[in-house]
Amino acid sequence: MSALNRITRGVAATSLTLGCWLLASTNAFAGLGAAPMTTPAGAAVTGVTTRSPGAASTSASTVARAATQASSSGMTSGGGTAAASYTVRETRLASGTVVREYVGPDGTVFGVAWQGQQMPDLSALLGTYFPQYLAGLKANRAAGAVRGPATVEQSGLVVHSGGHMGAFSGQAWLPQALPAGVNTSDIQ
């Protein structure tokens, strides 16, 4: 076998392996400010609850009934003094990491939280806000914050991420998108 033939086969095998890896690692997260994620391969939705700020969580059927009544009566989340409810969708990824998406009454994700042995793909979780997160990290590092949890606190994006091998956790939210009455400590 010639050296050129071996190199060609090596490149082909590497390309095939890389392509399969990329397909297998592709996440289907929608990201902050978008619709909730579609469930990735090997993952399972383990719970959906709806919460009203200051009240206990309710089942998904109660939420659907309340949403139907609110829409038929013309109520909106911005009107009146009632706090808007939100839905928490919990997904256990194939890695065992649990991701919670906090979905506002308009159907968009205003916050995410994660906890598990492996970090989730933050570029997928943060979606279009990921470049803003990277810029915030870069600015923090330039200011001397090179150790400890990754924290970005800006007017349009807040991300707290930390942990160590085998135990990672974090939260991210869009301050401008928090429903009325929702506290940032609710995102966990």
The pLDDT tens digits for 62-76 are: 333 333 333 333 334
Estimate to the nearest angstrom the gap between the alpha carbon of 38 and the chain centroid: 11
* Cβ 37 vs Cβ 30: under 8 Å: yes
User: Does 37 have pLDDT greater than 60?
Assistant: yes
- Stretch 78-91: mean pLDDT, rounded? 71
User: Does 46 have pLDDT greater than 60?
Assistant: yes
- Amino acid at the residue 25: S
Give the C-alpha separation, 181 to 106, whole Å: 15
**pLDDT, position 61:** 34
- Stretch 64-89: mean pLDDT, rounded? 50
pTM of this prediction?
0.69
* Cβ 111 vs Cβ 178: under 8 Å: yes
Q: Residue 54 region, left (φ>0) first, then alpha (ψ -120 to 50), else beta?
A: left
Give the C-alpha separation, 41 to 151, whole Å: 30
Q: Which residues contact 31 (CB under 8 A, 6 or more apart)?
A: 37, 109, 124, 125, 126, 127, 128, 129, 130
Does an H or E element contain 130, and which? helix 130-142
* Cβ 51 vs Cβ 186: under 8 Å: yes
- Range scoring the smallest mean pLDDT among 71-75, 109-113, 163-167, 170-174: 71-75
User: Does 152 have pLDDT greater than 50?
Assistant: yes
* Cβ 161 vs Cβ 113: under 8 Å: no
Average pLDDT of the chain? 75
* Tokens 């803003």, located at residue: 132
- Stretch 27-50: mean pLDDT, rounded? 80
Length of the chain: 188
* Cβ 44 vs Cβ 124: under 8 Å: no
**pLDDT, position 81:** 42
**pLDDT, position 51:** 78
* Cβ 177 vs Cβ 187: under 8 Å: no
Q: Which residue has the higher pLDDT, 22 or 176?
A: 176
**pLDDT, position 56:** 45
